Amino acid sequence: MDRKNILCIGAGYVGGPTMAMIACKCPQYRVTVVDINHEKIARWNSDDLPVYEPGLDEIIRATRGKNLFFETDIEKGIRESGIIFVGVNTPTKTFGAGAGKAADLQYWEKTARQIREASESRKIVVEKCTIPVKTALAMERILTSKDGDIRFDVISNPEFLAEGTAMRDLEFPDRVLIGSRETPNGIEARKAIVDIYLNWVPREKIIESNIWSSELSKLVANAFLAQRISSINAISALCEKTEADVGEVARAIGLDSRLGSKFLNASIGFGGSCFKKDILNLAYICRTYGLDDVAGYWESVVDINEYQKERFILGILNAMFNTIAGKRICLFGFAFKADTGDTRETPAYTIARRLCEEKAELVITDPKAIDNAKTDLADIGGITYEPDPYKAARGCDAIAVMTEWKLYAGLDYRQIYDSMTKPAFIFDGRNILDHKGLHEIGFNVYPIGKPPLVHFT
């Protein structure tokens, strides 16, 4: 088999950028990315990539057609490659047992069967997608369930990239985790994957482990990150009831080197495709093993996240004299975080729906996520979508910051204030604006976890 031919099945947020980085750093490998979605592949082959990531365009331009190829013939890809990365999506199940909690593995299982059917020689199959622990075992079982002497080794190589910083995370990872069965064949297969990363990642950052530790580490890393956000968000509620400022508290605790300063920004809640899904998966696995207390502990991280969104809505209602019916509210941002157009699990989605339930008139602006917002909220009529934040805010009673896009901190808020209905409100769901400055202009300002700055007595 040709271990210099790498295939990736799944051309999404993980597969596309990761393979682009491998192609860029390993010119001696030929990397092919395939997907059942022909339109997506066509876009990867165009100037309009289906994923927005700073720095991705440049890498794609430098490698596409040289040693990076986007194609639709999955079976041919499988036949020609010795190493197959699987990056298909594993959304949360929406039906049957474990609905809303367990991962929906149907695409993933279909892919495993496809690999088995098309393979004519030994393959190393690498799990890239976030999947519940023991998926590798299921994959092994599917791959080896057919008569024949083709050998398959399943490797877990979880992806830790964050959207918006994917290219930097891929180029300078904190660590690369590669798990396999600890048999001679498993270890030999694992080495083939280590060799790929050694082209640009220092040896000491490449961690080898058993396959279950590797799979579980991914879920646990995301659960811990999300837990930090829920912890600071829970404290933001207490700060709002007292004279404390959550930013000052975060700074004070973050200077403890055991805690560190990252991921302590209070917000309207975490979003994204991974955190909620991974925690619910983790909790589901715990329940499967009868560890109900452990499951409950992790589920509370998601509960606080839901609470934080609802608290934000109630804060808006309360500040705006307990009614927002017929009032125009402008959402600054819809993406789940800055520097991405991705809106999966974005808190803005829940907040937009709740505001509509309260009969507010919504205007949504975002530099990258307007198309996704339109699709997500297609069933709700009467929402205005406007890419220009100045036009979006015009005539509105309130602005609510949903996404921490840098551009929102640099706008001319005097001009915006003059164009709005009075009294004008700003609810800064990300604490990115100059609250004092806004207050001086005339806004009533409501940050997260800090005392509001208002003009009413």
Which residues are at the interface with ligand UDX (CB under 6 A)?
Answer: 159-163, 222, 225, 229, 263-265, 267, 270-272, 274-275, 336-337
Cα(106)–Cα(168) distance, integer angstroms: 31
Q: For ligand UDX, give the closer residue by CB, 100 or 260.
A: 260
Q: Which two tokens stand for residue 267?
A: 């917000």
Residue nearest to ligand UDX (CB): 272
Q: Work out how close the CB of 335 gets to ligand UDX at its nearest, in angstroms, rounded to a whole number.
A: 9
Instruction: Please give the sequence-ordered ranges of beta strands (E in DSSP) within 62-140, or none if there are none.
Output: 68-71, 83-86, 123-127
Residues annotated as catalytic are 274
Strand 30-34, strand 68-71: pairing: parallel
Q: For ligand UDX, give the closer residue by CB, 215 or 361.
A: 215
Q: Which two tokens stand for residue 70?
A: 């986007």
Q: For ligand UDX, give the closer residue by CB, 172 or 390.
A: 172
Q: Work out how close the CB of 65 gets to ligand UDX at its nearest, in angstroms, rounded to a whole number.
A: 28
Give the count of beta carbons closer than 10 Å to the beta carbon of residue 19. 29
Residues sharing a CB contact under 8 Å with residue 148, sequence separation 6 or more, in sequence order: none
Q: Work out how close the CB of 191 gets to ligand UDX at its nearest, in angstroms, rounded to a whole number.
A: 24
Q: Is 45 exposed, middle or buried (0-12, 13-18, 19+ CB in 10 A)?
A: middle
User: Residue 126 phi/psi, 5° resolution?
Assistant: -110, 120
Q: Work out how close the CB of 12 gets to ligand UDX at its nearest, in angstroms, rounded to a whole number.
A: 12
Q: Which two tokens stand for residue 235?
A: 């404290």
Q: For ligand UDX, give the closer residue by CB, 163 or 376.
A: 163
Q: For ligand UDX, give the closer residue by CB, 67 or 346.
A: 346
Q: Work out how close the CB of 337 gets to ligand UDX at its nearest, in angstroms, rounded to a whole number.
A: 4
Task: To the nearest 10°, report the CA torsion of 207, 211, 212, 217.
Answer: 30
Are 417 and 425 in contact by the 8 Å Cβ rule? The answer is no
